[in-house]
Amino acid sequence: MSNVRPDPLVLLLVACMAQAEGEKQSECAKNPPGMAALAQHPSLYIIHLENDLFHGTDSDYTSGVKFSWVSPNLKNYLDDPCLPQWVRQLNQLSGTLHPKGDTSRNMVVTAGQAMYTPRDRYRADLIPTDRPYAGWLYLGLGYNARNEQRMDSAEVNLGIVGPAALAKQSQDMIHDLRGIPRFQGWDNQLKNELGIQLVAERKRKVAESDSRTGPEADAILHYGASLGNIKTYLNAGMELRIGNRIPDDFGTAPIRPTGDSNAPYEAGSVRRFSESGVHAFISADARVVARDIFLDGNTFADSHHVAKKYLVGDMAVGVAWQWRGGKLTYAQYVRSKEFDGQSATHGYGSITLSMEH
């Protein structure tokens, strides 16, 4: 038998390769896979509240609420130890939705409710010239991936439209608490219908200034598409921001799929919100709408509907304050007329609180 001693240089090279391979592992590899592992790393919790009472009205898109949880940065969506086994299996089924090619990525879980009403709260009969009463209760699963200049998002929302969405009960409770008269026509709302919405959107920073002596500014372009019996559309828009220490995210959006754009944080970062600052923003979004169940009515049953407009736009102005560990945003939105016979444009206010934990 030959007695060959290993070359010390080879041993050193093997050791270095093993160490490098270990460094590629997720930090969650130090813990058992699952929720306990996730808890060791910063997640983001987001609360969105939107209501047209901020604008002095109470109709059309009258209220929306959404809760979001954004995961820590993941190595990937299929075998990162941060993810419980059942989530990995779910992600295998939704593989076509996963953004590709970026080093910073995470998952987003959402739950929300939206409600729509005509303008006349006192009429109990169906109002053929105004929009239908409608509610939308849903759960969403999204995937984000980014690099320094671009963020890709994909999301699927599943839920129900109609009485099972509990919009009447939610509105009655809030109106009773505030001493506001109830709407009388909820018996005419859209019928129960299961709904699905698939959404993909890209956000890209097209201009950016980093001044050491004055305010910072940037411009963010976005474009995307939605497909489903809830809403089908193409959209595009832009946001302009100016202020002190603008956060390294991709802007502010109202309640909509793929709107949670302040995550994931860039690869190598530890926290999303590491510096305090204030900035103002103005944004616009235009949509070419093929279907909107809240105007077109039920897909598979006869229901109240109106003739929608195929081109709709939103504009917003707002201000955001961030500190180490959180961000608070307020914005006022104005939406163009959405259907024939609508008497005026519609406005609403939006408050978003993001907390890192």
Question: How confident is the model over 90-115, as pLDDT tens digits?
Answer: 888 778 878 877 778 888 999 999 99
Q: pLDDT-based confidence at 31, cuts 50/70/90?
A: low
- CA separation for the pair 95, 90 (Å, rounded): 9
Contact 348, 52 (CB under 8 A): yes
For the ranges 27-41, 50-64, 67-81, 181-195, the one whose mean pLDDT is highest: 181-195
CA 179, distance to chain mean position in Å, is 32
User: Going by C-beta distance under 8 Å and a sequence separation of 6 or more, which residues neighbour residue 85?
Assistant: 33, 34
User: Which pLDDT score is estimated for 130?
Assistant: 96
User: Which pLDDT score is estimated for 187?
Assistant: 97
Q: What is the mean pLDDT of the chain?
A: 85
Q: pLDDT-based confidence at 270, cuts 50/70/90?
A: low
Least confident of 53-62, 77-86, 129-138: 77-86
Q: pLDDT-based confidence at 72, cuts 50/70/90?
A: confident
User: Which pLDDT score is estimated for 157?
Assistant: 95
In the chain, the amino acid numbered 312 is V
User: Which pLDDT score is estimated for 24?
Assistant: 40
User: Which pLDDT score is estimated for 135?
Assistant: 98
Least confident of 5-19, 67-81, 185-199: 5-19
CA 208, distance to chain mean position in Å, is 23
- What average pLDDT score do residues 265-269 get? 63
Contact 191, 136 (CB under 8 A): no
State the DSSP code for 343. Answer: -
Q: Is the pLDDT of residue 41 over 80?
A: no
- What average pLDDT score do residues 304-331 get? 94
Q: pLDDT-based confidence at 39, cuts 50/70/90?
A: low
User: Going by C-beta distance under 8 Å and a sequence separation of 6 or more, which residues neighbour residue 274?
Assistant: 324
CA 135, distance to chain mean position in Å, is 19
User: Which pLDDT score is estimated for 271?
Assistant: 63
User: Which pLDDT score is estimated for 261?
Assistant: 58
Q: pLDDT-based confidence at 79, cuts 50/70/90?
A: confident
CA 323, distance to chain mean position in Å, is 21
**Which residue in this structure is represented by tokens 């604008």?**
55
Q: Any idea where the domains of the chain sit in the sequence?
A: 10-356
User: Which pLDDT score is estimated for 18?
Assistant: 39
Domain 10-356 has CATH 2.40.30.10: no
Cα separation values, 52 from 58, 60, 226, 284, Å? 6, 9, 24, 18
pTM reported for the whole predicted model: 0.86
Phi, then psi, of 272 in degrees rounded to 5? -80, -40
